[in-house]
């Protein structure tokens, strides 16, 4: 049995809707994935289906409240339609209880399955969906007003937030079907992996060609080409495109032979084996290779690759497009993800003293205040950051803060080329000693662009 549904966003004028065909073997969770795809949302928030007097959720997402509802992964559409929702009747889908989106799903037609049909598919629709986290119906109205009025005080910040452009009437049914099957398969795989996966943009190439990338001076575009992080990310993506790399069963990490092959072509190949006297400790796990693990995680969060425990690591379509972008577009996107999506604390044990977005805003404020190309001692950076935070630090506290900054902020920003590092020759067990930093010309431009974004938060 094939079911034709009309999915309509409520309380929005002009109407925003999609018409789809789904199988009766699909679950409500499958339908949730389809709605997320059709509305270009990222599944960042809780959802609920209301069918007759029943409520269905993805139980594990609701933690201790999950047992109050039925499991949408177990609810087949064929068991609900037409028994509880006959042809011509509708049920409700709610998403993001902060923004408060409510969608009505009308059962338009129940059809016999026919050979050759590609199910699910999108038959039609009208208008672009509101961006994720725009603030609900009222927030979307304010967003449209701002982006359509160049004199609006939030015009530029909203355009930057949404990726450079947004056309509220834009909907292309052919484009909607192009990546549908692959996207839904990817969503299923995500649930089998503990590795994160980032946003997938329908207009990915377009958002990376924006005012910032197009206005960049030639010498800064040359600096973008030379950036170690960009070059190493391209190395990683090309390797995954050309080789079958299956994640380990325990963690989903790259196996050792692939770690050695990938990092051998990095701009600054890391030392993989530790030699102390006559003893050699061979590499055991990707967790020991901080640089690679950071790039690996960044590529996942950027939506460039996907894999995981006992799953093959593969280049996603967005990763393929990334490889064909101009150098400055690649740099813009990696910086966009690093500042806005990446958890800077992932390799730092004590997170209790910091709030992620506030930390990022403070770092951007601090580093944009430094003159371009001038050496700033790491001790001064630490004191300046402490002053911005407004806390009173003892000498021991400052040493602890310096270690945190070096590990979680300064070293990664050094790989970006946002800052250049002066390092002592003597290495500790974990990392070399950074003595001073200086903000690069390209780094200053990246920080300024991110500063405009964080000011709106």
Tokens describing residue 101 = 């989106």
Q: Which distant-in-sequence residues (6+ apart) come within 8 Å of 151 by Cβ?
A: none
- pLDDT attached to residue 348: 66
Residues in the chain: 457
Q: Which two tokens stand for residue 296?
A: 């690996």
Report the top-level CATH class of 2-127+171-190: alpha beta
- Name the residue among 133, 171, 164 with its Cα closest to residue 147: 164
Question: What pLDDT was estimated at residue 393?
Answer: 80
pLDDT in tens, 90-123: 999 999 999 999 999 999 999 988 777 889 999 9
Q: In this structure, which CATH number among 2.60.40, 1.10.10, 3.40.50, 1.10.260 belongs to the domain 356-454?
A: 1.10.10
What integer pLDDT is reported at residue 351 of this predicted model?
55
Q: Cα–Cα distances in Å, from 2 out to 73, 78, 183?
A: 19, 9, 20
The pTM score is 0.66
Q: What pLDDT score was predicted for residue 349?
A: 60
Residues 6 or more apart in contact with residue 214 via CB below 8 angstroms = none
If DSSP codes are grouped into helix, strand and coil, which group holds residue 222? Answer: helix
The structural domains of the chain, with segments of one domain joined by +, span 2-127+171-190, 204-340, 356-454
pLDDT of residue 425: 58
- Which residue stretches of the chain have pLDDT < 50? 426-430
């Amino acid at each position: 049995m094939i079911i034709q549904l009309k999915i309509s966003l409520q309380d929005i004028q002009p109407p925003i809707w999609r018409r789809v065909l789904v199988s009766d073997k699909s679950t409500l969770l499958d339908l949730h994935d389809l709605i997320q795809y059709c509305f270009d949302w990222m599944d960042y928030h809780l959802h609920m289906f209301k069918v007759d007097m029943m409520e269905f959720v993805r139980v594990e997402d609701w933690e201790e409240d999950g047992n109050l509802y039925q499991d949408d992964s177990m609810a087949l559409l064929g068991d609900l339609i037409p028994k509880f929702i006959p042809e011509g009747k509708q049920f409700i889908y709610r998403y993001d209880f902060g923004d408060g989106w409510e969608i009505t799903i009308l059962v338009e037609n129940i059809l016999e399955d026919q050979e050759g049909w590609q199910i699910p598919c999108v038959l039609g629709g009208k208008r672009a969906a509101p961006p994720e986290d725009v603030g609900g119906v009222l927030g979307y109205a304010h967003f449209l007003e701002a982006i359509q009025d160049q004199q609006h005080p939030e015009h530029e910040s909203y355009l930057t937030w949404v990726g450079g452009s947004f056309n509220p009437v834009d909907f292309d049914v052919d484009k909607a079907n192009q990546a549908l099957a692959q996207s839904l398969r990817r969503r299923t795989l995500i649930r089998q992996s503990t590795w994160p996966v980032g946003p997938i943009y329908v207009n990915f190439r377009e958002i990376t060609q924006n005012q910032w990338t197009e206005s960049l001076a030639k010498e800064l575009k040359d600096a973008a080409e030379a950036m170690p992080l960009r070059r190493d990310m391209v190395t990683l993506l090309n390797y995954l495109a050309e080789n079958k790399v299956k994640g380990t069963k325990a963690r989903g990490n790259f196996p050792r032979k692939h770690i050695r092959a990938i990092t051998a072509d990095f701009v600054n190949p890391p030392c993989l084996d530790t030699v102390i006297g006559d003893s050699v400790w061979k590499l055991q796990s990707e967790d020991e290779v901080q640089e690679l693990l950071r790039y690996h995680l960044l590529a996942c969060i950027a939506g460039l690759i996907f894999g995981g425990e006992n799953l093959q690591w593969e280049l996603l379509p967005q990763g393929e497009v990334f490889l064909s972008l101009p150098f400055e577009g690649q740099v813009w996107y990696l910086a966009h993800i690093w500042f806005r999506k990446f958890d800077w604390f992932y390799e730092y044990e004590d997170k209790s003293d910091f709030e992620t977005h506030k930390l990022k805003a403070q770092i951007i404020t601090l580093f944009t205040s430094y003159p371009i190309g001038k050496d700033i001692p790491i001790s001064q950076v630490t004191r300046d950051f402490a002053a911005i935070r407004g806390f009173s630090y003892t000498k021991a506290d400052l040493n602890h803060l310096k270690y945190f900054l070096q590990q979680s902020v300064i070293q990664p920003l050094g790989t970006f080329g946002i800052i250049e590092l002066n390092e002592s020759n003597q290495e500790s067990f974990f990392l070399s000693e950074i003595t001073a930093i200086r903000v690069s010309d390209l780094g200053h431009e990246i920080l300024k662009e991110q500063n405009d974004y964080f000011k709106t938060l």
